[in-house]
Amino acid sequence: MTMPTPQCPWRMQVHHIKQETPDVWTLSLICHDAYSYRAGQYALVSIRNTAETLRAYTLSSTPGVSEYITLTVRRLEGGVGSEWLTQDVKRGDYLWLSDAQGEFTCDNQTNHRFLLLAAGCGVTPIMSMRRWLAKHRPDADVQVIFNVRSPQDVIFAEEWRHYPVTLVAENNATHGFLAGRLTRRLLESVPDLAMRTVMTCGPAAYMAWVEEQIGALGVTHFFKEKFFTPVAPAASSGLKIETLQPVREFYAPVGSTLLEALESNQVPVAAACRAGVCGCCKTKVISGQYTVSSTMTLTDQEVAEGYVLACSCHPASDMVLA
């Protein structure tokens, strides 16, 4: 019998597991209680059902459409969460999930023209929203452009046959694929582009490029995925760390990143990439000195307000965190 963790109170049983591509699997889960979520949201998963290690994954299913709650996970070499979920977890096992999180969803958009852009595993919230739009706004004009490494890397390949999609393969493009990457010319070919709500998910560099190009092409309704854990305290280097929500005080060895200090003191924190790319471990520093090696997913305003990526933050004094 597995037990819930403070941030992951929802117990779900693995019904079946499907391999989508050579390195991506979808886990279909059954929740015996009413689990509320919106298309495009994500949840924290308790890795090995412990409170110390959490990872954020998109709920790739669609509420009111999908039979199961699904997580679609790319196996990363050395990835604590992805290797466990894709290698060790079996049918019948139990997982513990947090409440659904995030505001990257289409159900609050009044526009009936959409452009959904995805690269790699960034397609998981895009597919969730595409199903939702097909069910609840069948008359909506929805354009999708999905960029993959090669034709064998198309996640949800069978399901995409039901929806119009432009597939772009960087390598070995075959019939039905455009060769290369997403380009400005391809964006310009989308009818009524400036009138559309544009939503994108993928690697940080991809989303940054999309945001720059879309803005230059006159799009004003633009949204990109950002994992964010509301309560994410931090750590220090031989220095005292205080968190205000909840109130807590602890110490960490010199040289620790903020993320390492959090985890070594059993402070729950979501961390997906651990490389300053995904933005999952965003944390607000109230006071203290530190250096950072990445601000990739943070806006200039967030940086000015004291937000850091815990995995890329190196404390240099006592610190107080929100």
Find the mean pLDDT for residues 274-298.
85
Phi-psi region of 180 (alpha: psi -120 to 50; beta: other; left: phi over 0): left
What local confidence, expressed as pLDDT, does residue 294 receive? 85
Region 313-321: mean pLDDT is 85
Query: Both tokens of residue 48?
Result: 């090995």
234: confidence class by pLDDT, cuts 50, 70, 90: very low
pLDDT the model gives residue 58: 94
**Which CATH number applies to 10-97?**
2.40.30.10
- Range of 188-192, 301-305, 317-321 with top mean pLDDT: 188-192
Q: Is the dihedral of CA 60, 34, 5, 88 positive or negative?
A: negative
Identity of the amino acid at 126: I
pLDDT-derived band at 233, boundaries 50, 70, 90: very low
**In sequence order, what are the beta bridge partners of 74?**
24
**pLDDT at residue 238 in the model:** 54
Residues 213-227 have a mean pLDDT of 90
**Rounded-to-integer distance, Cα 61 and Cα 128, Å:** 5
Taking domain 113-224, whether its CATH number is 3.40.50.80 is answered by yes
For residue 87, what pLDDT is reported?
Answer: 95
280 closest CA partner among 301, 302, 311? 311
**Structure confidence at residue 244 (pLDDT):** 66
- Residue pair 313/292 in contact by the 8 Å Cβ criterion: yes
Q: What is the DSSP string of 272-288?
A: SSSSSSS-TTEEEEEE-
- 147 pLDDT band, cuts 50/70/90, is very high
Q: Which of 173-177, 266-270, 316-320 has the lowest mean pLDDT?
A: 266-270
DSSP string, 246-271: TEEEEEE-TT--HHHHHHHTT---B-
Residue 284 tokens read as 């607000």
Average pLDDT over residues 229-233: 36
| Predicted confidence band of residue 239 (pLDDT cuts 50, 70, 90) | low
Q: Name the residue ranges covered by the structural domains of the chain.
A: 10-97, 113-224, 239-321
Residue 166 has pLDDT above 70, yes or no: yes
CA–CA distance, 68 with 48 (Å, rounded to integer): 21
Query: What's the whole-number mean pLDDT along residues 52-80?
Result: 92
Query: Distance between CA 95 and CA 197 in Å, rounded?
Result: 35
11, pLDDT greater than 90: yes
- Residues 6+ positions from 108 with CB-CB distance below 8 Å: none
Is residue 148 within 8 A of residue 167, CB to CB? The reply is yes
Of the candidates 266, 219, 218, the residue with the CA atom closest to the CA atom of residue 241 = 266
Within 11-93, residue ranges assigned H as helices are 80-83
Euclidean distance between CA atoms 276 and 167, whole angstroms:
28
pLDDT at position 237 is 35
Domains 10-97 and 239-321 share a fold: no
Q: Candidates 3.40.640.10, 3.10.20.30, 3.40.50.300, 3.40.50.1950; correct CATH number of 239-321?
A: 3.10.20.30
pLDDT band at 262 (very low <50, low <70, confident <90, very high): confident
The yes-or-no verdict on residue 231 having pLDDT over 70 is no
pTM here is 0.73
What integer pLDDT is reported at residue 245 of this predicted model? 61
